[in-house]
A and B are shown apart, each in its own frame.
Chain A
Amino acid sequence: DTAVSQTPKYLVTQMGNDKSIKCEQNLGHDTMYWYKQDSKKFLKIMFSYNNKELIINETVPNRFSPKSPDKAHLNLHINSLELGDSAVYFCASSQGGKQGYTFGSGTRLTVV
């Protein structure tokens, strides 16, 4: 079983559309994250949730909204997609602090 799974793996969409990326972890971790890796390969944190509570909310456009229905899921909704949103988005989870993250395999979003 995949520990952290993201769907879809690839997403190609037009500017202005609204899309969602889903993430599920079966590790029983309390904390989940979304990271963005841009074309220059820099990985930056976007959000983190701990037991469905928003903990980290970096400076990202309001068009990005995370939703955590339970502690095993953290979905990312993106409204009014722009060309600059094209990137690879990684979901991750950890058991609080002091332990390593487990990352998903990523969702490659291409906005055309």
Chain B
Amino acid sequence: DAKTTQPPSMDCAEGRAANLPCNHSTISGNEYVYWYRQIHSQGPQYIIHGLKNNETNEMASLIITEDRKSSTLILPHATLRDTAVYYCIVSSTNSNSGYALNFGKGTSLLVTP
């Protein structure tokens, strides 16, 4: 699986958009980009994933560059409860048997009042 690079920490003011970048320059054609977050002392929470098109759900938007070498997770209106460690993970998936997630260090996002 391709490796990812994320900034170790970011700050965001409450109510503003949080844009979390991720570099995955060695991504291969069959690898998806996944985003998870882990709020302190809780289990990781799935946010969103994509292959090459931009994706949006009720939690966030995922913007993937055309060359797929980087992506940005956007939390449109960050709240204090969005303070967490955000993980960008690249993984090839097997539709029948599941897949492994290789978590890195992630980005620690602090949302401030």
Contact = CB atoms under 8 A, between A and B. Distances in A.
Interface string B58-93: 000000000000000000000000000101000001
Nearest to B41: A106
With most chain B CB atoms within 10 A of its CB, the pick from A42, A43, A90 is A43
A31 interface: yes
Given A42-B103, A43-B103, A98-B93, A90 B98 contact: no
B10 interface: no
A101 B33 CA distance: 13
B43 A90 contact: yes
B98 A43 contact: no
A53 B109 CA distance: 38
SS of A interface (majority): strand
A56 to B, nearest CB: 6
Contact of B101 (A45, A96, A98): A45
Contacts of A63: none
A94 B49 CA distance: 14
A100 to B, nearest CB: 3
A97 B46 contact: no
Contact of A56 (B32, B36, B93, B100): B100
Interface string A81-110: 000000000101010111011111110000
Interface string A46-68: 00101000011000000000000
Contacts of B47: 100
B43 A103 contact: yes
B103 A103 contact: no
A101 B101 contact: yes
Contacts of B93: 96-98
Contacts of B38: 43
